[in-house]
Structures are given as C-alpha cells and as structure tokens.
Amino acid sequence: KRLLPLLAGFALLLSACGREDLSTLNPQGPVAETQFDLMKLSIGIMALVVVVVFAICIYVLIRFRRRPGDTSIPKQVEGNHKLEIIWTVIPLALLLVLGVPTIQHVFGLAKDYSKDKEALQVKVTAHQYWWEFEYKDLGITTAQELIVPTGKKIMFEMTGADVKHSFWIPSIGGKMDTNPGTTNKMYLEFPKEGVFRGKCAELCGPSHAYMDFKAKAVSADSFERWVSAMKAPAKMPEDVEIAKAFEAKCLLCHAIGQENQGSAPNLTGIGDRQTIGGILYNSDVVADPQPGDKPAAQNLHDWIKDPQQYKPDNKMPNAAENGLTEEELTAIAKYLADYKLDYQSSGK
C-alpha cells in the first residue's frame, strides 16, 4: 500500500517532463521504433529470467527450510550433469534470442547513406552550448532549429567544435557523440510533420542542461520554400543607425544570410524559431504556449541583455559589455523577432 503513492509519483515524474515529446517510450519513425523494439525484447528477457529465478529461489527456501527438531545434515550432492547442461543451454538460447536481432538491427541502423542521392546530408557541429546545422549540398547553414522534410533519410555527419557533446532526439532516435576532430555518422527519419525536441546528452560544461535544439519536420514543399528563403539575400534592419549597430556589434560573430558564416549561431529567420537560445520558448510560434513563454521580441531582448543569466559560461557578452544601448537593444530584438521566412503553408 505504501508503494502505491511512490509508484504514482514516479509515473507522474516520467510523464510530466514538460513538453512531452522528450521520450524514447513514444517512438516516432523507423529508427526510434527499431530501438524501442530492441529495448522491449531485452527487458522482456530480463524480466523472464528475474521472475523464474526468484520463483525457484523462494520455492527452495520454503520447501527445504529447517524444521523444528530437525538436526540431520541434508544429503550432500556433488555435480549433476543433467542440471549443468540445463543451466548452460537455457542462457545460451536466451542470448541467441537477444543477440541475433540486436546485431541485425545495429548493422541496419549503422547504414551509411552519405553517398545516397535520395538522402539529405546534414553536418552537425556541436558548440558550447548550441548546435550548428550545415546542409552541405544546399549551401545552407542554420542553428538551433534543424529543418527536415518528412519521410526522407537524413544522414548526419557529426563533430564537435570544442568539447564532447552528444546529439539526441529521443522520440526520433539516437543518440551519438559529437567529438572534436572526428566524424560520427548516423541516419534518422521523420515520419510526420511536427517539432521534436533534441538535447545534448553528454556533460559538456555548466550549461549542458540547457543545450537544447529542435528538429522541425515539414512537408517536401515547405522544405523547398525554406531552402530558397534561406538562400535569398539577407534582410538588414531598415533603420540605418540600427543596421550599423547590428553589423558592428552582432555580425562580428553571428551571420545572417549564407555568406561569411561566423563563430556564433546563424540568425537567418530566427523569428520562426520555437525558442531563443534553445530554451526560451516563443509564444508567437509554439502551438501550445505555456506559462512563462514570451513573445520572440521580449525573449530576444532579455537574452541579448544578459545571455549569461540563461546559459552560464556561453560565449556571448551581455549588452552592456557589447556597448549596446537600450534603444539599439530593443530595436535589434524587434528586427530579429520579425525576421521570418514564412515557408510553411499553415503559417506556423
């Protein structure tokens, strides 16, 4: 009886992880489904072993317990070929049942589609504490929000810019380390349109827990529109003074458009993104705004003013250090919030 509230609390904890798509137990698409099947198989076999072993154990404890007045020494048995064969063959069979599909799927999931013309090639570079996505064949670089077409194999080539990180979209599949100096490969497939949360899954510094990203799966048409909008000439702030300040104080590290990629996240179309900095949700854009979500202009203002407050140890200076006046800050935040590419037919 005392276990019941504990179990209920645990279930609540598991189910109440905020935006609910951050679960491997709700697999979407072939990769996550395969991984989930393997999980179920191995947990099933383990549970079977635990139940059988415990049942035998408890039976033996009760059946052969020492009874009152019994002082005799039980029969001493040395070796039993029949039993030894049984407890060698059964584990062997269980390991085969587990091992054959595991090996099959592991090789299947490790298939390399980097030469496949049908697959979309994306280079992932993990930085402290943000994600860079480069579509090499399309000449596009973006950050924090991975845009992909549904139903297509997405072949990721992954590396790290500074320390070890790990790329993980729990409901779609993964995860895989992104290591500086080497390249890891993995493919994923997004079965339906939607926004899927991604996380860094390797302890990488003080803001590891905030190193989130989004994967947004869209229709093939929307994806085409996104590609052309990303490649179109970049829009600068209309006000000349603000444009000057933006260029001098932001574009030293950031980039807009596809020329001169910087050392910080590319900002093209940032107004479309579900989050600022990966963690501040935009109530303008998300389908299910929650308490605390703010409009993009507000989030951007707060972020630029003091990014360290949200992601300690990130490389971005605060507005004062950067010499931005409150007026410039507000105008730049508004310009960025309005920088939308409007590539999805539904408008969101």
Binding residues for ligand CUA, rule: CB under 6 A, are: 126, 129, 165, 200, 202-204, 208, 211
Provide, rounded to whole angstroms, the least separation between the CB of residue 99 and ligand CUA.
32
Q: Give just the sign of the alpha carbon dihedral 302, 283, 226, 135.
A: positive
Cα angle value 255/260/263 (rounded, 5°): 60
**Nearest to 224, CA basis, from 51, 71, 344:** 344
Q: Which is nearer to ligand CUA, 200 or 304 (CB)?
A: 200
Provide, rounded to whole angstroms, the least separation between the CB of residue 126 and ligand CUA.
6
Q: Which is nearer to ligand CUA, 189 or 212 (CB)?
A: 212
C-alpha 330/C-alpha 284 separation (Å) is 17
**Nearest to 35, CA basis, from 160, 166, 208, 187:** 187
C-alpha 246/C-alpha 28 separation (Å) is 40
Look up residue 237 and give its two tokens: 């702030």
Provide, rounded to whole angstroms, the least separation between the CB of residue 139 and ligand CUA.
26
Task: State phi, psi for 262 to the nearest 5 degrees.
Answer: -100, -165
Q: Which is nearer to ligand CUA, 129 or 156 (CB)?
A: 129
Task: Using alpha carbons, list the distances in angstroms from residue 233 to 259, 284, 287.
Answer: 9, 25, 29
- Are 147 and 218 spatial neighbours (Cβ–Cβ below 8 Å)? yes
Provide, rounded to whole angstroms, the least separation between the CB of residue 278 and ligand CUA.
10
Q: Which is nearer to ligand CUA, 132 or 202 (CB)?
A: 202
Q: Which is nearer to ligand CUA, 168 or 190 (CB)?
A: 168
Task: State phi, psi for 43 to the nearest 5 degrees.
Answer: -65, -35
Provide, rounded to whole angstroms, the least separation between the CB of residue 146 and ligand CUA.
15
Residue 156: other Cβ atoms inside 10 A: 23
Provide, rounded to whole angstroms, the least separation between the CB of residue 180 and ligand CUA.
12
Query: Following DSSP, what letter does each residue of 148-168 receive, concatenated?
Result: EETTSEEEEEEEESSS-EEEE
The SS3 assignment for 147 reads strand
Provide, rounded to whole angstroms, the least separation between the CB of residue 203 and ligand CUA.
6
Q: Which is nearer to ligand CUA, 27 or 160 (CB)?
A: 160
Q: Which is nearer to ligand CUA, 184 or 322 (CB)?
A: 184
Q: Which is nearer to ligand CUA, 208 or 273 (CB)?
A: 208
The answer to whether the peptide bond before residue 305 is cis (omega within 30 degrees of 0) is: no
**Nearest to 39, CA basis, from 17, 50, 23, 51:** 23
Provide, rounded to whole angstroms, the least separation between the CB of residue 42 and ligand CUA.
27
The SS3 assignment for 84 reads helix
